[in-house]
Amino acid sequence: MYDLNAHAPGQALQDARALTRATMRFFGVVLGMVALGLWLVPGAFDDAAEALMRGLMSALFLGIAVGLWGAGQTRFDDEFHLDLENHQLRHMMRGQDGIARLRKRYRFDDLDEITLQGGVLMARLTGGREVLRVAVDQQLEPGVMERLRGLSKRPAV
């Protein structure tokens, strides 16, 4: 006997979203080509009104094409992995396919400040640029919270 429902429970919804994204990208490309194709239509540009109309229609189609193309792009969610053993903070991007992609890696030595105050974990690079600010009280176990409190690195005064 063959299992016709071999997909994971949420697979049908993911497939529908992927199809929707692909359709939006397709129509974005089609409208972009139509916007350029308006200028390839044979015919004389006898008056300025025709050129103005083609220009307005091209701008409209290109605007819609860019919107559809952008809406059809895959979205990524930010994740931060705090590796206390290797002394690293990693910024990951997780796509809808579930694969985590490394965006940036920060060594603790490169960070000017790592603090945990009031349940908010914050990290700043040298120069003051904030790379992480997240509420962690409800998400972490008490043992991990104690390790983070012991890790706190503050800028020299």
Residues 83 and 144 in one domain: yes
- Give the tokens for residue 123: 């990290």
pLDDT in tens, 110-157: 778 777 777 777 888 877 888 878 776 666 666 766 666 666 555 544
Q: Which residue range is the domain that position 123 belongs to?
A: 76-151
Check if the beta carbon of residue 90 is closer than 8 Å to that of residue 123: no
| Model confidence, pTM | 0.47
Single out the residue of 58, 67, 73, 56 nearest to residue 28, CA to CA: 67
Residues 63 and 126 in one domain: no
Residues 108 and 142 in one domain: yes
Domains: count for the chain = 2
- Give the tokens for residue 56: 């307005």
pLDDT in tens, 36-80: 988 887 766 668 888 888 889 999 999 999 998 888 777 777 777
Residues 147 and 80 in one domain: yes
